[in-house]
Amino acid sequence: MAGKKILMLVGDFTEEYEIFVFDQGMEAIGHEVDIVCPDKKAGELLHTSLHDFEGHQTYTEKLGHNHHVTKTFSKVDPADYDAVYIAGGRGPEYIRIDKRVQKIIRHFHEHDKPIFTICHGVQVLVAVPETIRGKEVAALQYCEPEVTAVGGTYIDVPPTGAHVDGKLVSAKGWTGLAAFMRECNKVLGTEIHHGEVKGAKQASRRKAAKNGNGARVAA
């Protein structure tokens, strides 16, 4: 199948891993990801953050690696995309009040397109309540009151897990990226088939030939 086009919504200090890992992982298997931020143009710097639990009552926050916006926000047409992904971190808390962001999210909901959210990304969906009303959604546990306040059902998945409700895929945080991306690809209809490693068959034949000629083969 052909790769899909995915729109990634971020803001400054969005979670580093949830940008880099998702972007590079999806691109590696043939999807196209556009990273956009309100009022930023393609090529502009995007500052990221890194959150972790290090023995305190809540998470710590550090500066992450810088990234770049890959598409000018004003040129985004949601109709051009097959799915939308909202990364977590600090970005969602301020981009969610942007009416243009809300309009983009509403497009994906009204056209029954996949919506992917991780960590605090659910805060953007809370700003468009119909996207999660009556739905089950995972997020960082501190977002539970917001989810339930708009009629969603908060799902407390394991840190390395993910949750699927129809075309809505969600996870608690960056430690769940593997499971999260696996479920995103299922919803997108992506199939990955593992074949024999290139050159392995020829090596096996050479090994068999040596063994047949009396050469010693290690167990």
pLDDT tens column, 170-211: 999 999 999 999 999 999 999 888 888 776 566 556 655 555
Residue 99's CB is within 10 A of a number of other CB atoms, namely 8
Percentage with pLDDT > 90 across the chain: 78
- Three-state SS for the chain is CCCCEEEEECCCCEEHHHHHHHHHHHHHCCCEEEEECCCCCCCCEECEEEEECCCCCCCEEEECCCEECCCCHHHCCHHHCCEEEECCECHHHHHCCCHHHHHHHHHHHHCCCCEEEEHHHHHHHHCCHHHCCCCEEECCHHHHHHHHHCCCEEECCCCCCCEEECCEEEECCHHHHHHHHHHHHHHHCCCCCCCCCCCHHHHHHHHHHHHHCCCCCCC
The pLDDT of residue 215 is 39
Residue 37 pLDDT > 70: yes
182 phi/psi in degrees, rounded to 5: -60, -45
Q: Which residue has the tokens 């931020």?
A: 37
Higher pLDDT, 118 or 213: 118
Average pLDDT over residues 71-75: 98
Short-list 148, 187, 127, 84, CA closest to 137: 148
The pLDDT of residue 216 is 39
CATH topology for the 5-212 domain: Rossmann fold (3.40.50)
pTM for this entry: 0.88
